[in-house]
Amino acid sequence: MTGEIGAFKSGLYHLAKRRPDVEFVPVLIDNLNRILPKGEFLAVPLLASVSFGAPLHLNADEPKQTFLERARAAVMNLRHV
């Protein structure tokens, strides 16, 4: 509701572990929480922007929490682009 990026769930890690050949691209859709507020069905006509970061891969023997924090940081860094 506040627009803050929450902690990433473990599904991303499990998918990256199962598919090491896939690139995971960080994406930030800015202003989405104002365009389509939680619980609403109709979008509000406001501007939004989409930013894409460099692809991520799961490093060999990288712990789950480390990968999830690195992925979240990659999305957070897109706010300053």
2-30: pLDDT as tens digits: 667 889 999 999 999 999 999 999 999 87
Tokens of 4: 């803050």
The pLDDT of residue 4 = 77
pLDDT band, very low/low/confident/very high, at 75 (cuts 50, 70, 90): very high
Query: What band does 1 get if pLDDT is binned at 50, 70 and 90?
Result: low
Residue 27 is predicted with a pLDDT of: 95
Phi, psi of 19 (to 5 degrees): -125, 70
